[in-house]
Amino acid sequence: MKRSLRSLSLPLLLFLFLLASVAFRSVIFPSFLFCQSYPQNRNIYIDAPLLSLSLHEPADSSLQTDIFDLLQASLESFDTIGGKYRTFSLWRGISSDESVRPRSLARIRLPVRTGTRYPPDRRVILPLFRHSLATWARSHNAELSFSVMSELTQLVKRPIEIFNGLKDSSEPYSTCAVVGNSGILLGSNHGELINSHEFVIRLNNARVTGYVRDVGSKTSLSFVNSNILHLCTRRVGCQCHPYGENVPIAMYMCQPRHFLDYVVCNSSHKAPLLITDPRFDNLCARITKYYSLKRFAYSTGLSPTRWNETHDETTFHYSSGFQAVMLALGICKRVSSFGFGKIKSAKHHYHSNQKAELDLHDYEAEYMIYQDLIKQPKTIPFLAGFRAPPLVFYH
Ligand SMILES: *[C@@H]1O[C@H](CO)[C@@H](O)[C@H](O)[C@H]1NC(C)=O
Ligand SMILES: *[C@@H]1O[C@H](CO)[C@@H](O)[C@H](O)[C@H]1NC(C)=O
């Protein structure tokens, strides 16, 4: 071990240095390590500023305020329409600042299922609400790391296996299919191929009835965002199961007040209702922002600091499809993706007539990430230490 450094050749030293910087996720040589596949162009600012810009989250301070207010809030409930509905309201607690009036921070109205304990009593809901929100908020503030990727089997696969009465195994699923909602699926005949995967993930409760030949019928996990669950709370028993009540749901939390919906629905759901780990959310957010900044700089030749002139920084977000692919990479040995991408002649969604894309997503940037996940996953910032399994996109 005492070998002198001088006896090592310079290239070897350089190599070791590079290796160390990758291992420690250092940002010493970002432009060299992360951007080798893109044309060199002096007008493009692809370097450390890009990484630091991608870490910037302007919506974070208002999120912290929301969380603080919600954790202090009181919960009231009252019945309406002859006891047919029960309304729950979270009220902002008394403030030391007298000019701040109490206001409702969240409100949901649930149909009462007579003769059952649904919806639960507010004295049951409030402590569960506070506990789950506080736990989530703590994790939200955790340090950014790709290591959460290797915890996903534990966080997602394990509860599903326990629910299915299977022996707990930390082995990833052998094959997974992520079924996106793009209109390119129509006429694809991919249904049987999709069904042949061990684990099939579907997005945002997209319908399969009537489309089985193209999209398959098997669903192992329904991946949704919490806006969808919020709509489901209007139904008796929080019915949110187009694929059957035994299909587990993994949900991304869009807003912290949706923990109210979560706690109510969790009490009535048979299958697990899982919330994506905020460390995982943050990882997805940083990666997509980095690629969006990079694409902006690359396609316009402008400084990435001007990215916010074409994107609303406070609403910019990765798509559910992106997070579902990332999730699959964490819990599967091989991942196939269907229904991602768009062509002019195809509908936006196979199951709806929605025309426009939501401009809070940057799908083009996400396609760039998929390319790198397939060809050079090690070059993806924040993910450098993760061993991505093989990923294939079907068109
Ligand atoms: C959600 O439901 C599951 C299963 O019933 C339970 O184990 C878990 O503690 C619940 N979580 C909350 C926050 O209520
Ligand atoms: C856009 O971002 C830059 C640099 O991050 C910042 O200085 C500027 O104030 C932002 N502009 C808007 C309109 O938010």
Distance CA 129, CA 119 (A): 14
55 alpha carbon – ligand 1 mean position (Å): 32
Nearest to 33 by CA among 8, 54, 58, 50: 50
Distance CA 283, CA 277 (A): 10
| Cα 274 from chain centroid (whole Å) | 12
Other C-beta atoms closer than 10 Å to the C-beta of 324 total 27
Distance CA 250, CA 159 (A): 11
The residue with tokens 């996990």 is 221
Hey, what amino acid is at 244? G
CA dihedral 112, 127, 256, 139 (to 10 degrees): -140
Residue count of the chain, please give it. Answer: 395
309 alpha carbon – ligand 2 mean position (Å): 8
| pLDDT of 24 | 37
194 alpha carbon – ligand 1 mean position (Å): 31
Distance CA 109, CA 79 (A): 9
The residue whose CA has the least distance to atom 7 of ligand 2 is: 305
CB of residue 132 inside a 6 A radius of ligand 1: yes
Beta bridge partners of 224: 251
The residue whose CA has the least distance to atom 1 of ligand 1 is: 266
| pLDDT of 337 | 97
Give whole-number Cα distances, 19 to 155, 168, 232, in Å.
Answer: 30, 35, 49
State pTM to two decimals: 0.85
Distance CA 90, CA 218 (A): 38
The DSSP secondary structure of 177-222, one letter per residue, reads EEE--BGGGTT---HHHHHTSSEEEEETT---TT-HHHH-S--SEE
Nearest to 259 by CA among 66, 119, 129: 129
CB of residue 305 inside a 6 A radius of ligand 2: yes
| pLDDT of 358 | 62
pLDDT in tens, 348-367: 788 777 766 667 889 999 99
Q: With beta carbons less than 8 A apart as the criterion, state whether 277 and 137 touch.
A: no
Q: With beta carbons less than 8 A apart as the criterion, state whether 91 and 102 touch.
A: yes
Q: With beta carbons less than 8 A apart as the criterion, state whether 177 and 338 touch.
A: yes
50 alpha carbon – ligand 2 mean position (Å): 14
The residue with tokens 């684990």 is 199
One digit per residue, the tens of pLDDT, for the chain of length 395 reads 334 444 445 454 444 444 444 333 333 223 333 333 344 443 344 467 888 999 988 888 899 999 999 999 999 999 988 888 999 999 987 666 667 677 889 999 988 887 778 888 899 999 999 999 999 999 998 889 999 999 999 999 999 999 999 887 889 999 999 999 999 999 999 999 999 999 999 999 999 999 999 999 999 999 999 999 999 998 888 889 999 999 999 999 999 999 999 999 998 899 999 999 999 999 999 999 999 999 999 899 999 999 999 999 888 999 999 999 999 999 999 999 999 987 777 777 887 777 666 678 899 999 999 999 999 888 899 998 899 999 999 98
Which ligand is the nearest neighbour of the Cα of 159?
1
Q: Indicate if the alpha-carbon torsion angle 369, 358, 326, 65 is positive or negative.
A: positive
Of 226, 263, 266, 275, which is best to mutate to test ligand 1, by the most ligand atoms within 8 angstroms of its C-beta?
266
Coil vs helix vs strand at 364: helix
- Cis ω for the linkage preceding 272 (within 30 of 0): no
| pLDDT of 41 | 41
Buried b (16+ CB within 10 A) or exposed e, 361-385: bbbebbbbbbebbeeebebbbbbbe
| pLDDT of 386 | 92
Q: Locate the DSSP E strands across the chain.
A: 74-80, 85-91, 104-111, 173-179, 199-203, 221-225, 249-252, 273-275, 332-338, 391-394
| pLDDT of 113 | 82
Which ligand is the nearest neighbour of the Cα of 272?
1
Say which CATH topology domain 36-60+146-394 has.
Answer: sialyltransferase cstii, chain A (3.90.1480)
| pLDDT of 288 | 96
The residue whose CA has the least distance to atom 6 of ligand 1 is: 266
Which ligand is the nearest neighbour of the Cα of 49?
2
306 alpha carbon – ligand 2 mean position (Å): 7
Distance CA 215, CA 211 (A): 6
Residues contacting 394, CB < 8 A, separation 6+? 188, 190, 193, 336, 337, 338
352 alpha carbon – ligand 1 mean position (Å): 33
